[in-house]
Amino acid sequence: MKLNIAFCNTLSVGHAVPLIALAKILRNDGHHIFFVMPVWQEVTHDLVKREGFEIQYLFNGKHTINSGGQFSREYPELTIETGRVFNAYRPDMVFASQLFHVGKMGAEMAGVPLVNVIPNPYLETGESQTPFIDKKNDRGGFNEEMSRYWGRIHSVRAQIGLKKLPSVKFIQSDFANIILTEPDVPCLRRDLPDNCFIAGPMIDPDAGGETHHPVFDLMSKDAAKVFISLGTEESRHDEALIFFNKVAAVFAELKSKNIQAVFFIGSRFKKRDMGHAGDNCVICDSFVPQRRIISQADLVISHGGWNTVHEALYDAKPQIVFPIAGHQFNTADWVVNRGVGMRFNYSRFDREDLKIGILRLLEDKKTKKTVSQMSSRIRSPERVYNLIRYIEGRYLNEHPHYAEHW
């Protein structure tokens, strides 16, 4: 017997990508997978469609409210609608991505077992009772930033009649909690609950879109290539354009070194806005197949998004991190401490220092050896096998009468 599984993910592409990779693993094991999403989640539902998954849209795809971020005034309405969809399609379990509490609360309303998927443990930091986090090693200062958000969640739960949460600041699932990260991340407690499984990074080796994307025609065959991205969310801000141009000026000085830069500048800005970009810079202002670009790059520069960091490690690429907010500072520290890259100040970095850092990481044999070892561990097929057995085992533990049909 195979399971009917619903997936819910956040607006962030960096959080959606590992969840989609997890969905593909379960589909390949024979389970039926469908996604439940609001119609305005354009970027992420395009990714889901590209992988051939069925989507059940909230409000039958007719509701066109503004997403409004995680503080949306429509949160109660969205939660109730998500619970209605779960009741209608009766999944055996719901996989809900971290911080997408519409999905988590909807599963709770429908009485469906919830698998709490945590791509980045730093985002689950809460009070000292939080079962996944060693608070002494949470240095991102994220709790204060999230206090307004959690106040909203408690208010929504009261409005729709869900039980009051304990002092823990996130909805921990009694059924199963999956952490998609390396086990040596400092903030993780060593004595995790029995219903928590560290699966490791979820990287889909086939992800990234079509191989004939125009960007590959512009990428040099013999130059060292550096991929630069601040992700879909951070690239929307005015400061991002200043950053991109400042980095482009550094690569203009590296042209004689046969180094090419491939920029993803997001959809808000256009190529014409990159006045400092030389002819050794490829500028992308629409969707790019990031996974495939990283696989061909020699170095990755990012804001420290957890998915980009893991994709770079998967392909054994050293990286430079420019943390901008929240958990990204913890991530940058982890990259440096593990010896897989460097960290710079986003708004006040020195161009000469960055140039030296780029040249060093492109040549440093010790860093390349370290990232190669981490890549081998992340690519282990045993991790995927153990994850599937864990998920199926948790379900059979709750529904033993299904065992004879398995």
Give the per-residue pLDDT at 208.
52
Q: What is the pLDDT of residue 207?
A: 64
Which amino acid belongs to residue 5? Answer: I
Which among 81, 87, 90, 91 has a CA at the least distance from the CA of 61? Answer: 81
**What domains appear along the chain, each with residue ranges and CATH number?**
4-205+380-405 (3.40.50.2000), 215-363 (3.40.50.2000)
CA distance linking residue 386 with residue 384, whole number of Å = 5
Beta-sheet strand order (sheet of 281-284): 281-284, 259-264, 224-229, 299-302, 319-321, 341-343
Mean per-residue pLDDT, 155-164: 78
Q: What is the pLDDT of residue 10?
A: 67
Range 366-371 average pLDDT: 96
* Residues 175, 194 contacting (CB under 8 angstroms): no
What percentage of the chain carries pLDDT values higher than 90?
Answer: 41
Q: 141: which 2 tokens?
A: 């200062």
C-alpha R_g of the chain: 21
Whether 299 shows a pLDDT value over 80: the answer reads yes
Q: pLDDT band at 81, cuts 50/70/90?
A: confident
Q: What local confidence, expressed as pLDDT, does residue 41 receive?
A: 66
Instruction: Quickly state the pLDDT bin for 301 (edges 50, 70, 90).
Output: very high
Q: Which residue has the tokens 């593990």?
A: 338
pLDDT tens by residue, 304-358: 988 899 999 999 999 999 998 877 888 898 899 999 999 999 989 999 999 999 9
Question: By the 8 A CB rule, do 332 and 304 touch?
Answer: yes
Confidence of residue 403 (pLDDT cuts 50, 70, 90): low
Each residue's pLDDT tens digit, 183-224: 777 667 667 777 888 888 888 777 655 567 899 999 999 999
Higher pLDDT, 103 or 154: 103
Higher-confidence position of 84 and 228: 228
Q: Is the pLDDT reported for residue 112 higher than 70?
A: yes
Query: Does 115 score more than 80 pLDDT?
Result: yes
Task: Write down the pLDDT at residue 7.
Answer: 94
Coil, strand or helix at 298: coil
Name the β-bridge partners of 259: 224
Is residue 109 within 8 A of residue 83, CB to CB? The reply is yes
Residue 99, pLDDT score: 64
Nearest to 194 by CA among 170, 163, 173: 173
Contacts for 10 with CB less than 8 Å, ≥ 6 apart: 16, 44, 97, 98, 99, 100
* Closest listed residue to residue 357, CA positions, set 322, 330, 326, 323: 322
Rounded to the nearest integer, the mean pLDDT of the chain is: 82
List, in order, residues 6 or more apart from 141 with CB less than 8 Å away: 326, 329
Lowest model confidence (mean pLDDT) among 87-101, 119-133, 167-181, 315-329: 119-133
Predicted confidence at residue 148, as pLDDT, reads 61
The stretch 112-137 carries a mean pLDDT of 60
Show the CA angle centred on residue 63, arms to residues 59 and 68, nearest 5°: 115
Residues near 136 by beta carbon (within 8 Å), at least 6 away in sequence? none
State the pTM of this model: 0.84
pLDDT, residue 209, reads 52
pLDDT, residue 264, reads 96
Summarised one tens digit per residue, pLDDT across range 234-289 is 888 899 999 999 999 999 999 899 999 999 998 899 999 999 899 999 999 988 88
- What pLDDT does 137 receive? 43
